[in-house]
Amino acid sequence: MTQIQPVILAGGSGSRLWPLSRKLYPKQLLCLTGELSLLQNTLLRACNLPDVLPPIVVVGESHRHVTLAQIDELGAVVQAKEMSVLLEPSGRNTAPAVAGVAQFCRQRGDDDGVVLLVLPADHVISKPEAFSRVVEEAVVLTAKGAVVTFGIRPGAPETGYGYIEQGEDSAILSFKEKPDEETAARYLQQGNFLWNSGMFAFTLGTILTELEHYAPEILSAMGQAVVRGTRDDRFFRFDAESMAESPEDSIDYALMEKTQNAAVVPASIGWSDIGSWKALWDVQKKDENGNVTSGDVILEGVKNCIIESHKHLVAAVGLEDTLVIETDDAVMVAPMSHAQDVKKVVNILKKAKRSEYNVHTTVYRPWGSYTVLEIQPRFQIKRITVTPGASLSLQKHHHRNEHWVVVSGTARVTNGESVKLVYENEAAYIPAGNVHRLENPGVIPLELIETQLGSYLGEDDIVRFEDAYGRKGEQ
């Protein structure tokens, strides 16, 4: 039997789902359609296929620990301990990611006949049995040397997707960019156009041969990124300098639009890439008025809206076809017809260097998380949660003093030459310049309130001397 190697691409940012999706906590890590994240659902879906190997996940450096935590939550169901997590020091689009995986598989000695099944981590597929069937069809084609993509049968003249023009059998006549409404309607009426899903399948031998012919610079650079790559506990890190030499390109442009061996498998699998709030509304369960709601929400005369509250009461009156998304630090309001334009707001935030583009008020770290409760020019208050057995790095700050008050659990505090246990309702004071560390030696989460005071309170005011998570020297 042909073995399938799932390759989960988890490096996206999901900017059209702001303010829920942020650069350091993107949409694939969010639980948008249930109790599991999009990444976790993708892993489960892949691992339910027959003759499947432990997945390979490709993720950016800044998401590595929270991604690993979500993988480990699934445990043996996804063969978590056997999985390979490949780290991209920089995002270079999907072609270098795929080339890097192929070179990684070649280096570890995988057979040329193993099928790489490339799946974005942030898709919704509501018909898993149908998904399994189309994967079987794709595997058959890969044995003939085909480079297979999955085309979604369109249910509407969607302008947010690229299209594939299908010829006889599985042949691809052309790829089309995202069309305007008139062109999309014509594609739908013509009947042989499919949405480009961004999912692919090919054997290891085929993809290496094809990339050598059509994208040799990418393949060569990523080959060096693997040869010079390093292992860090359960991570494999592509060499940063080598990867930077790779051209930045998508697998569609670098290969699919050039190869003579492209094939498409039409798929009716309940697919959505959740590329906007409108797309999320489409796949969610709605009330009798067509509304999707979450959190503390009151509606009066509201129709066909998506309204989410994550902290405050949100009351809406007389709205139609509108999205209202409230988080701890931001509120997004827009007509549903402008859902794709949310990305423009994110670009404005990024250009202005606003923190709301980058992080939530709650930020996840490999040791736990912290939540910013209040921030003012010379002081900041945080709630810190440290996982049992975890520890922060041994570090110091140049510009701020810190006061820690333990709310629950027990803290082991290194403060200069002193190491002591701090219990509930007790405090510790860390002067600026003191080398210090916070640890949780207990069996329950450690909760504490941290008050920072100083002339500069940025997260880059940190010097790490020791770290259990490979972050020594990072800022």
Q: What is the pLDDT along the chain (475 residues), one digit of tens a residue?
A: 789 999 999 987 778 999 999 988 899 999 999 899 999 999 999 999 999 999 999 999 889 889 999 999 999 999 989 999 999 998 899 999 999 999 999 999 999 999 999 999 999 999 999 999 999 999 999 999 999 999 999 988 988 889 999 999 899 999 999 999 999 999 999 999 999 999 999 999 999 999 999 999 999 999 999 999 999 888 999 999 999 999 999 999 999 999 999 999 999 999 999 989 999 999 999 999 999 999 999 999 999 999 999 999 999 999 999 999 999 999 999 999 999 899 999 999 999 999 898 888 888 888 999 999 998 989 999 999 999 999 999 999 999 999 999 999 999 999 999 999 999 999 999 999 999 999 999 999 999 999 999 999 988 899 999 998 877 655 5
Burial class (CB in 10 A: 0-12, 13-18, 19+), 270: middle
DSSP 58-80: EEEGGGHHHHHHHHHHHGGGGTG
Per-residue model confidence (pLDDT) at position 472: 64
- Residue 75 phi/psi, 5° resolution? 60, -140
Quick one: CATH architecture of 4-272? Alpha-Beta Complex (3.90)
Q: Please compute, for residue 388, the number of CA atoms within 13 A of its CA located in the half-sphere on the CB side.
A: 6
- Using DSSP bridges, classify how beta strands 115-120 and 306-309 pair: parallel, antiparallel or unpaired: unpaired
* Alpha helices (H) in 143-255, listed in sequence order: 181-190, 204-214, 216-227, 240-244, 251
The 8-class DSSP code of residue 55 comes to P
- Using DSSP bridges, classify how beta strands 56-60 and 230-232 pair: parallel, antiparallel or unpaired: unpaired
SS3 101: helix
Place of tokens 């859902």: 339
Q: Which two tokens stand for residue 173?
A: 């006549």
Sheet order of strands, 379-386 included: 362-365, 368-376, 379-386, 446-454, 400-408, 427-430
Per-residue model confidence (pLDDT) at position 35: 92
Place of tokens 């080598």: 242
Instruction: Of 118, 125, 135, give the one whose Cα is nearest residue 34.
Output: 125
Per-residue model confidence (pLDDT) at position 233: 80
Q: Where are the domains of the chain?
A: 4-272, 283-343, 361-466
* Alpha helices (H) in 391-461, listed in sequence order: none
Per-residue model confidence (pLDDT) at position 158: 87
Quick one: CATH architecture of 361-466? Sandwich (2.60)
